[in-house]
Amino acid sequence: MDNLAKVYPIHDNLWAIDEAGKTLMYLYAGEKRVLLVDTGFGLTDLKALAASLCPGKEIIVVNTHAHGDHNSGNNQFDTVYVGRMDEPFSYRQMDEEGIRDFWEGFLQDNPRTQGVRIEDWHPGPSRQVIPLTDGDTLDLGGITLEVLETPGHTIGSICLLDRTNGYLFTGDLMLTWEVWGQLESSSALKVYADSLQRLASLQDQVTEIFPAHGVPDNPFGWPLYHLPPRTLTVYAQGTQRIVDGKDVGKPYRHPGSLYVLFEIGGMAYDPKRIGVEK
Ligand SMILES: [Zn+2]
């Protein structure tokens, strides 16, 4: 099923893995270890892929958050790391109904999954989940990534920052379309805005942002794995305007939710969960 994964070299030691045109993972190699950011749907043999791109290196697996389109390949690894607030949700074994919902919602109509049978798909959790806390670091050998706790899309969402090179891995916190901040697993919008404000304060140190979803035909003409640093300010300011009541969203396709589009991307949210006094 490895034809489902398209690999995009970004730098000498950094690759984006586009799985089924639906979700993005990243491999980032240091001198000793290689970091795998997310495990996607689990349709790809990720160990084999990592071994072919960076042979002989130990793999460290980090989930940006505990959603099934980003952690379903965790069962290919003995240990994964995840933000401490998403750790409780990282042991779920998708039941048959969940598998069918994902298949129909994400994969069924995708040309790249034709020929793949739902029976051949075996998503699952890792045997061991290690929680990450703000300020923790991952040493790849010559490259260090810092964990930033950024509750929002999920309460346990984390970003990984390489301060030396300015690379920021942002999971589902910001995309080229409206991010889901309205989920039960999302924080209050005020908390999401605070996380985005913190990231925006780092904008001068960031050279490239790597999100967990992208489309090749985004309206900006960027590569699908790429967001420019100013996205941080756009998201922080746009979300703060909603929190402050300066912008009110239009009805979203998820009942009870609203959404606002920004210059880049946008935000879907639950108007009952802004998190400030009115
Ligand atoms: Zn998600």
52-64 pLDDT, tens digit each: 999 999 999 999 9
- What does the pLDDT average to over 232-238? 98
Asked whether residue 161 is assigned to any structural domain, the reply reads yes
> What tokens were used for 57?
């290196």
Range of the domain at 178: 2-273
- Cα 2 to middle of ligand 1, angstroms: 23
- Cα 63 to middle of ligand 1, angstroms: 10
Model confidence pLDDT, tens digit, residues 123-157: 999 999 999 999 999 999 999 999 999 999 999 99
pLDDT at position 114 is: 67
Asked whether residue 278 is assigned to any structural domain, the reply reads no
pLDDT at 206 exceeding the cut of 80: yes
Smallest CA-to-CA distance from 90 within 129, 44, 136 is with 129
pLDDT at 2 exceeding the cut of 90: no
- Cα 183 to middle of ligand 1, angstroms: 9
- Cα 212 to middle of ligand 1, angstroms: 8
C-alpha torsion sign, points 265, 270, 274, 278: positive
- Cα 9 to middle of ligand 1, angstroms: 24
Model confidence pLDDT, tens digit, residues 156-194: 999 999 999 999 999 999 999 999 999 999 999 999 999
- What does the pLDDT average to over 219-231? 91
Smallest CA-to-CA distance from 179 within 143, 219, 141, 214 is with 214
- Rounded Cα distance, 90 and 269, in Å: 24
Percentage of the chain beyond pLDDT 70 is: 97
CATH number at residue 47: 3.60.15.10
pLDDT band at 221 (very low <50, low <70, confident <90, very high): confident
User: Which residue is associated with the tokens 């009110």?
Assistant: 248
Model confidence pLDDT, tens digit, residues 78-119: 999 999 999 999 999 998 898 888 888 877 777 666 677 888
- What does the pLDDT average to over 30-42? 97
- Cα 186 to middle of ligand 1, angstroms: 9
Asked whether residue 152 is assigned to any structural domain, the reply reads yes
CB 265 within 8 A of CB 178: yes
pLDDT band at 120 (very low <50, low <70, confident <90, very high): confident
Give the HSE-up count for residue 161: Cα atoms under 13 Å, Cβ half-sphere. 21
Backbone dihedral angles phi then psi of residue 274, each to the nearest 5 degrees: -70, -40
Q: How many domains does the chain have?
A: 1
pLDDT at position 215 is: 85
pLDDT at position 111 is: 64
- Cα 94 to middle of ligand 1, angstroms: 15
pLDDT at position 106 is: 78
pLDDT at 261 exceeding the cut of 60: yes
User: Which residue is associated with the tokens 């979203």?
Assistant: 252
Smallest CA-to-CA distance from 76 within 115, 47, 53 is with 47
- Cα 177 to middle of ligand 1, angstroms: 13
DSSP labels, 164-215: TTTEEEEETS--SSEEE--STTSPPHHHHHHHHHHHHTTGGG-SEEEES---
- Cα 257 to middle of ligand 1, angstroms: 17
Which has more confidence, 200 or 4? 200
User: Which residue is associated with the tokens 């793949």?
Assistant: 116
- Cα 154 to middle of ligand 1, angstroms: 7
Surface-to-core class of residue 118, CB atoms within 10 Å of its CB (0-12 exposed, 13-18 middle, 19+ buried) = middle
- Cα 236 to middle of ligand 1, angstroms: 19
Q: Can you say how many angstroms the Cα of residue 217 is from the centroid of all Cα atoms in its chain?
A: 19
- Cα 187 to middle of ligand 1, angstroms: 13
- Cα 172 to middle of ligand 1, angstroms: 5
- Cα 56 to middle of ligand 1, angstroms: 31
Asked whether residue 157 is assigned to any structural domain, the reply reads yes
- Rounded Cα distance, 5 and 159, in Å: 23
pLDDT band at 3 (very low <50, low <70, confident <90, very high): low
- Cα 27 to middle of ligand 1, angstroms: 19
Asked whether residue 178 is assigned to any structural domain, the reply reads yes
* Strand arrangement of the beta sheet that strand 258-261 belongs to: 178-180, 266-269, 258-261, 250-251
pLDDT band at 220 (very low <50, low <70, confident <90, very high): confident
